[in-house]
């Protein structure tokens, strides 16, 4: 059986490549999606890659992941630091979720140090730029293999 994972991206990530490249790097979201597609093929899994600037759409995508995907990689962007709704959605879907950030949120402004996602995620990857996505995919596939 082929496993499927959801890679879900939050607000402003559609602007990657032009948005604060000194913080987020020159890589576009399309570049990251292409990187993830290649990694999924290498891992023998299927992948759905989505982005939304709207909190409710991210919640809906998490709800829809139940019964469809084996796990989720979530770059919630700024909602990481504000969204109880995303935290509750993750708690409700009973799927493993990895929290992902391009920058090291712990080395940035103090308000970015608090994550509402971390307490309900199986782990967090931050600070590795676009390379964090394939790292997260490896980690999620390893976790799913261990969970069997």
Q: Which of 69, 79, 101, 116 is catalytic?
A: 101
- How far, in Å, CA of 96 to CA of 85, rounded? 17
Specify the 3-state DSSP secondary structure of 148.
coil
Q: Is 24 a catalytic residue?
A: yes
Check 24, 79, 116, 133 and give the catalytic one: 24
143 is catalytic: no
Query: Of the candidates 36, 24, 67, 61, which has an alpha carbon nearest to the alpha carbon of residue 137?
Result: 36
Please identify every residue annotated as catalytic: 24, 101
């Amino acid at each position: 059986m082929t496993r499927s994972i959801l890679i879900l991206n939050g607000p402003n990530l559609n602007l990657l490549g032009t948005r604060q490249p000194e913080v987020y790097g020159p890589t576009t979201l399309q570049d990251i999606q292409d990187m993830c597609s290649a990694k999924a093929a290498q891992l023998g899994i299927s992948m759905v890659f989505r982005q939304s600037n709207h909190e409710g759409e991210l919640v809906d995508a998490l709800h829809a992941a139940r019964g469809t995907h084996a796990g989720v990689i979530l770059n919630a962007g700024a909602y990481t630091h504000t969204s109880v709704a995303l935290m509750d959605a993750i708690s409700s879907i009973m799927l493993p979720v990895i929290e992902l950030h391009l920058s090291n949120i712990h080395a940035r402004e103090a308000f970015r140090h608090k994550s509402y996602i971390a307490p309900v995620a199986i782990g967090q990857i931050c600070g590795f730029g676009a390379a964090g996505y394939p790292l997260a995919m490896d980690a999620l596939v390893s976790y799913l293999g261990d969970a069997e």
